[in-house]
Amino acid sequence: MNTSMHYDAIVIGGGPAGLTAGIYLSRARVRTLLVSDGMPGGQMILTHEIANYPGVESISGYQLSNIMKQQAKKFGCDIKSNTHILDLNMEGEVKQMTLSDGNTYTANTIILTPGGRSRTLNVTGESKFKGSGISYCATCDGDFFTDKEIVVVGGGNSALEEAVSLTKYASKVTIVHQFDHFQAFDYAVEEAKANPKIHFVMESTITAFYGENKLESVDIKNLNTGITGNFKTDGVFIFIGYVPNTEFLQGMVDLNQWNEIVVAPDMATSVPGVYAAGDSIAKRYRQVTTAVGDGTVAALAASNYLHQLKSKHHSSALAL
């Protein structure tokens, strides 16, 4: 039998931004439901080591995710994991959402924290060898390539940091990057260049993946000369950024040309009572700490919105 339940706030997404919002809202005695289409933690779960989170010397993404989840639950936040949204209406004072469990949930405010997913190269053979030689998660699959020669694609912080972590398993790591310089911070570049297991192929890109039952080689094209050569490898890890998970929000809130959610300084979206935070919003830097900051601001703004809504209804009742 389907039921309808009302909350003060609903948080859509269980990454660091969503979990932080859940913590802040619940601790403020705001009745909160957090829904996640996977395990709470989002992309943070896939991070092998977080060494720059203030006050924490070193922790795995999975551990930090679990701590945040337990903290939110301790304050009273209801969490529904491994579910997806069937219907969503964010207009009006009462927002409505139907989940795959068939139940309907309403709230006066919503915080959108859907995060993003790994960007793909979208070239021949990539879909065929996903999970059979191609990976987007060093923590998940690194040990499958013990004493193997692998390729890492990308030139940002994630690519270089994960390349270094993969040297714990692989005998050789070749970084393929489309530019002649890296977009990563200096410390990440220096650490990668100092590692004897890491080699570099710059101004190049992978154009195809080959193999029978598993990945065996890739075509690497030099973007200056146009020359393509075949490169034998046991595996490829792709770290070229994320795509915001905002497809379900098309036509509901304002998105920019990259389908990122447009927000005000207080994380308000174009819809009254709807806020957004984390990797799905339009911003320059995407780190666990920035997501946590976004989630904090969104929760405080949502709490203030609920307070104003309550005051408005109280004043209207007194006027009757």
CATH number for the domain spanning 252: value is 3.50.50.60
- Domain C-terminal end among 180, 210, 238: 238
Distance CA 206, CA 208 (A): 6
DSSP string, 143-167: GGGTT-EEEEE--SHHHHHHHHHHT
For the stretch 163-207, pLDDT in tens is 999 999 999 999 999 999 999 999 999 999 999 999 999 999 999
124 and 234 share a domain? yes
The position carrying tokens 């997404």 is 13
276 and 310 share a domain? yes
φ and ψ of 82, to 5 deg: 50, 45
Residue 312 structure tokens: 């408005």
Structural domains counted in the chain: 2
For the stretch 76-113, pLDDT in tens is 999 999 999 999 999 999 999 999 999 999 999 999 99
Distance CA 175, CA 198 (A): 7
- Domain C-terminal end among 216, 238, 260: 238
Range of the domain at 62: 4-117+242-319
What is this structure's pTM? 0.79
131 and 234 share a domain? yes
For the stretch 29-80, pLDDT in tens is 999 999 999 889 988 887 777 888 999 988 988 899 999 999 999 999 999 9
- Domain C-terminal end among 238, 255, 290: 238
3-state secondary structure of 71: helix
pLDDT on residue 211 = 96
For residues 113 and 277, is the Cβ–Cβ distance under 8 A? yes
3-state secondary structure of 181: coil
124 and 95 share a domain? no
109 and 201 share a domain? no
215 and 79 share a domain? no
253 and 232 share a domain? no
pLDDT on residue 57 = 87
130 and 194 share a domain? yes
For the stretch 114-147, pLDDT in tens is 999 889 999 999 999 998 899 988 877 898 999 9
